[in-house]
Amino acid sequence: MCLGIPGQIVEITNAAHKLAMVNIGGVKRQVNIACIVDDEHPIESCVGDWVQVHVGFALNRLDEQEAAETLEMLAEMAAAIE
């Protein structure tokens, strides 16, 4: 099992290497988006997309509602641990 965290692509930082800046809970990280780029979703169209990020890679796209629900569950888990 892996833990993927929702983040929103805010900028393409290197189109040739398929790298983007992703906002994950207010923290921006450079992420490889090669797994989500295809003929239907060229790299230029990825800004604004919500993605599931795991170890520096965007594994798949999420809709905004799914991302919000996941972030809420993660916040609840963090609060329960405290």
Q: Which residue has the tokens 């993660």?
A: 74
Eight-class DSSP state of 25: T
CATH number at residue 74: 2.30.30.140
- How far apart are alpha carbons 82 and 72 in whole angstroms? 16
Residue 65: give the domain boundaries. 5-81
Over the chain, what is the mean pLDDT?
93
Q: Say what the pLDDT of residue 57 is.
A: 97
Q: What is the pTM of this model?
A: 0.89
pLDDT tens, 37-78?
998 999 999 999 999 999 999 999 999 999 999 999 989 998
Residues 6+ apart with CB under 8 A from 37: 18, 43, 46
Who's near 2: CB < 8 A, 6+ residues apart? 54
Q: Kindly report the CA angle at 48 between 47 and 49, in degrees rounded to 5?
A: 95
Domain count for the chain: 1
